[in-house]
Amino acid sequence: MSMLKGQLQSKKLMFAMILFLASIVFVATGQADFGQWAEFVKWVFGIYAAGNVGEHVSNKGFNLGVGPATSEEEAV
């Protein structure tokens, strides 16, 4: 449950949801059609996913198949 709370407090997710809701309003008021809505939503959540992956890679580093250091390696 705490992970869900953390996701709901994410600024990126909140911004993506606001844009998603705005796109629904545009379709409901006739300012956009379904094709435009689908493209917009695809871009919004694609950018969200890329940003999320980028954040996780920058936080943990990019590992090219090298396992974690053993205690012998850490002592060197």
Percent of the chain with pLDDT over 70: 68
Residue range 20-48: mean pLDDT, rounded: 94
pTM of the complete model beyond 0.75? no
Scan for tokens 């992970």, then name that residue.
Answer: 3
Task: Give the pLDDT confidence of 5-32 residue by residue, as tens digits.
Answer: 665 678 888 888 999 999 999 999 999 9
Tokens in use for 48?
A: 């969200």
Under 8 Å between Cβ of 46 and 52: no
